Structure 1
Amino acid sequence: MSKTDLKIRLKIELPDGVRLGYGKIDLLRAIDREQSISAAARSMGMSYRRAWMLLEELNRSFASPVVETRMGGAGRGGASLTGTGMRIIAIYDDAQTRANEALADQLRKLADELAGDVSPPTEEGS
């Protein structure tokens, strides 16, 4: 990461200690892309169980579910985002953009304070 690559990674605290951050948003995006919880989890290097638990947490947190599932069989199962899920991504993206814009000057100032060459220490220099 270079000095100009500083990023803000937004995490929003929801009631009951639930956090909405880039990880859950990435999972929702993956479900939208893959149309499957298991395929989405695999694409992120996450277990199905972990993905399911995160989705259950989100579904409990919002007034209506963010993901709906379909049973397998002849009609093929799968999962898709609901309107709420799509709106949650849009709201999060807007908040992330606004945070980046609002803090751009501070990020530049912070970048100016970083060491010029931040490379991992060698065994000799450890």
Structure 2
Amino acid sequence: MNNALEKEFETIDSKYIQQHLANERTYLAWVRTSITIMGVGFLITNLHFSTMASNGKMGDILSKIIGLSSIIVGIFALIISTISYFIKGNDINKQTFRFSRILVVYLSIALILIFLIFGAYYLDVWGSFY
């Protein structure tokens, strides 16, 4: 009797519980990554303007670019990872698999650009101290 009751309430999602839980953990990791990216940009901008490390306008501009671009990259990473989460949920139920090319390529290119701006900021602000 108990077995028949369990079969009645079984959904397609319950057949692949482990995969759906892994998908959820991956999504939460992307959420943490998005928050971290935005936090780093916010931290750099706040540190720059609270210490007034630069005497020039270029350091101020680069600091603002780092802060704004980090927020934009973090928001887009969150949006893309949310879309990817739902697509993967459907793919799990259909037993098909496609890895996240778009999310990985986007985040890699965006972070490389932010790191290049970090490098320019470092050379402008801290390079003058040496």
Normalized against structure 2, the TM-score is what? 0.31
Structure whose CA Rg is larger = 2
Structure number having the greater helix percentage: 2
Structure number having the greater strand percentage: 1
